[in-house]
């Protein structure tokens, strides 16, 4: 009997060889690519600490407070929550925005110490809509009659 390299390879790949050695055909290891969503990236980003946000307790300090709030939100990637025109379009954007809203709602519950701020937080307790809370704050402190009178009085 002539044994060649081809005949050995043919025998090793045959069912007889595998049955004799009680082995199964090894399956290739296929790794599924892990998909990291923007919301996952948000969760893994820099440590978001609600205590890094200043408290808002004086109505007359709205402009200064708002400037600081916008800067911190930009650092944390939360500027969409402060933009009343922003509306997420894709599933990933909606998931990310929901997580951002949840974090900012938590922040607002601890830092808004004015009567209006507390009122707006209570109004949106069921929806956790931080975007609407901020929009109402901005409107109340920049466009209301009292805000205009306060700004005029400060000049």
Query: What is the DSSP code string of the chain?
Result: ----HHHHHHHHTSHHHHHHTT--PPPP--PPPPP--HHHHHHHSSPP-GGGSPPB--GGGHHHHHHHHHHHHHHHT-HHHH-TT----SHHHHHHHHHHHHHHHHHHHHHB-SHHHHHHHHHTTTTT-HHHHHHHHHHHHHTSHHHHHHHHHH-
Domain ranges in the chain?
Answer: 55-154
Q: What is the pLDDT of residue 79?
A: 94
Global pTM?
A: 0.69
Q: What is the pLDDT of residue 22?
A: 57
**CA–CA–CA angle 14, 17, 22 (5° rounding):** 125
Q: What is the pLDDT of residue 133?
A: 96
In whole angstroms, give the CA distance from residue 106 to residue 55.
13
**Which residues are paired to 112 by β-bridges?**
56
In whole angstroms, give the CA distance from residue 105 to residue 134.
10
Residue spans of the chain under pLDDT 50: 155
- Read off the tokens for 61: 């300090």
Q: At what angle do helices 91-111 and 115-123 cross, to 10 degrees?
A: 140
N- to C-terminal Cα separation, the chain? 108
């Amino acid at each position: 009997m002539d044994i060649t390299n081809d005949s050995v390879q043919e025998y090793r790949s045959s069912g007889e060889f595998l049955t004799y050695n009680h082995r199964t055909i090894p399956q290739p290891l296929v790794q599924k690519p892990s998909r990291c969503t923007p919301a996952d990236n948000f969760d893994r980003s820099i440590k978001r600490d609600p205590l890094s946000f200043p408290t808002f307790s004086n109505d007359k300090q709205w402009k200064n407070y708002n400037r600081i709030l916008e800067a911190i939100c930009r650092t944390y990637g939360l500027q969409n929550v402060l933009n009343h025109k922003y509306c997420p379009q894709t599933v990933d954007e909606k998931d990310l925005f929901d997580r951002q809203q949840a974090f900012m709602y938590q922040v607002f519950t601890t830092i808004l110490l004015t009567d209006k701020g507390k009122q707006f937080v209570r109004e949106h307790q069921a929806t956790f809509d931080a975007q609407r809370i901020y929009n109402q704050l901005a409107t109340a402190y920049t466009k209301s009659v009292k805000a205009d009178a306060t700004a005029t009085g400060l000049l």
